[in-house]
C-alpha cells in the first residue's frame, strides 16, 4: 500500500508535465500560424488582392439584412466598442485586484494592454482607408486594418475564458464558457462587416492578431511559471500561486 502511492503520484506528475509541454507547444504553434496568416493577409491587402474576397463576403452578408438583424448587429458592435470594452476591462482588473488574484491581474493586464498597443501600431502601419458604411452610419475616424473590435474582443473574451476554464470542474461548464466567448467574438466581428465599417479581411486580420497576442501571453506565462516553480523546488519551498 505504501509503495504504490508514490508511484501513482509520480505517474500523475509525469502526465501533468507532459500536458503542460503539449500546451506550450500548441500555444507556440498557434501563435506562429496566426502570425504567418496575418503576414500573408497583410501582403495580399497591400497588393489589392483581397478586394474580390472582401466584396464577395460583404455582399453575401448584406444580402441577409433585415431591420431586426440590423438592431442586433448595432448592439453587438456597441458591445465591442471602446466605450463598453474599456470599462469592462477596468472592472475585470479591479475585480482581480480586490479578490487578491494578482496572477490573473498580471496576465489580463498584459493581454488587454498589449491588445490596445498592438491595434494602435498596426493601424498606423498599414493606413488602410475605411469602406463606405451601410445604413448611413458615420465612418470611424481610425484606419481600417486590422479591426480593433475583432482584435480586442478576441483578447478580452478568449483571455477571460482561458483563465476561468481551468477552474471549472465540469466539462459542460467549460464548453458553455467557451461557446459564449466564441459566439460573442464572432458576433462582434460579423457586425463590423454587416454594418460596412470594416472589410472582411480587416476582421480576419484582427482575429489573427488577437490569436498571436493571446497565445504569446499564454506561452510566456507558462514558461515563466515553470521557471519560477523550478527555482522554488530547487530551494525546497513553493510560491504562493497568487
The model's pLDDT over 2-50, given as tens digits with 9 standing for 90+, comes to 555 555 555 555 655 566 667 677 777 888 899 999 999 999 999 999 9
Give domain status of residue 3, yes or no: no
Give domain status of residue 8, yes or no: no
Q: What is the pLDDT of residues 189-241, one digit of tens each?
A: 999 999 999 999 999 999 999 999 988 888 787 776 655 455 545 555 545 55
The CA–CA distances, whole Å, from 229 to 110, 181, 219, 237, 238 equal: 21, 30, 15, 9, 7
8 A C-beta contact, residue 213 and residue 111: yes
Query: How confident is the model over 123-143, as a mean pLDDT?
Result: 90
Give domain status of residue 17, yes or no: no
Question: Considering the entire predicted model, what is its pTM?
Answer: 0.84
Instruction: Please confirm whether the linkage preceding 146 is cis (ω < 30° from 0).
Output: yes
Round to whole Å and give the CA distance between 212 and 218. 10
Give domain status of residue 227, yes or no: yes
Give domain status of residue 228, yes or no: yes
Round to whole Å and give the CA distance between 36 and 30. 10
In total, how many domains does the chain have? 1
Domain range spanning residue 49?
29-235
Least confident of 115-129, 161-175, 210-224: 210-224
Give domain status of residue 5, yes or no: no
Give domain status of residue 78, yes or no: yes
Give domain status of residue 217, yes or no: yes
Q: Rounded to a whole number, what is the distance in angstroms from the first to the last CA of the chain?
A: 35
User: Taking all residues of the chain, what is their mean pLDDT, rounded to a whole number?
Assistant: 85
Report the alpha-carbon angle 126-129-131, nearest 5.
135
Q: Which of 181, 176, 180 is nearest to 158 (CA)?
A: 181
Amino acid at each position: 500500500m505504501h509503495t504504490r502511492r508514490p508511484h501513482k503520484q509520480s505517474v500523475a506528475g509525469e502526465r501533468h508535465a507532459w500536458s503542460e509541454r503539449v500546451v506550450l507547444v500548441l500555444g507556440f504553434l498557434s501563435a506562429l500560424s496566426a502570425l504567418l496568416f496575418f503576414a500573408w493577409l497583410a501582403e495580399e491587402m497591400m497588393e489589392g488582392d483581397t478586394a474580390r474576397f472582401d466584396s464577395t463576403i460583404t455582399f453575401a452578408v448584406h444580402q441577409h439584412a433585415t431591420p431586426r438583424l440590423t438592431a442586433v448587429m448595432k448592439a453587438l458592435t456597441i458591445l465591442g466598442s471602446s466605450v463598453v470594452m474599456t470599462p469592462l476591462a477596468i472592472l475585470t482588473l479591479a475585480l482581480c485586484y480586490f479578490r487578491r488574484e494578482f496572477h490573473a491581474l498580471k496576465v489580463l493586464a498584459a493581454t488587454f494592454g498589449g491588445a490596445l498597443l498592438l491595434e494602435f501600431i498596426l493601424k498606423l502601419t498599414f493606413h488602410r482607408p475605411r469602406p463606405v458604411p451601410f445604413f448611413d452610419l458615420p465612418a470611424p475616424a481610425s484606419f481600417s486594418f486590422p479591426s480593433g473590435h475583432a482584435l480586442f474582443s478576441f483578447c478580452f473574451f478568449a483571455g477571460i475564458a482561458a483563465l476561468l476554464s481551468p477552474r471549472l470542474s465540469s466539462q459542460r461548464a467549460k464548453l458553455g464558457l467557451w461557446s459564449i466567448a466564441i459566439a460573442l467574438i464572432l458576433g462582434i466581428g460579423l457586425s463590423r462587416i454587416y454594418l460596412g465599417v470594416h472589410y472582411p479581411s480587416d476582421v480576419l486580420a484582427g482575429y489573427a492578431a488577437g490569436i498571436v497576442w493571446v497565445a504569446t501571453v499564454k506561452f510566456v506565462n507558462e514558461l515563466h511559471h515553470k521557471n519560477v516553480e523550478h527555482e522554488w523546488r530547487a530551494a525546497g519551498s513553493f510560491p504562493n500561486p497568487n
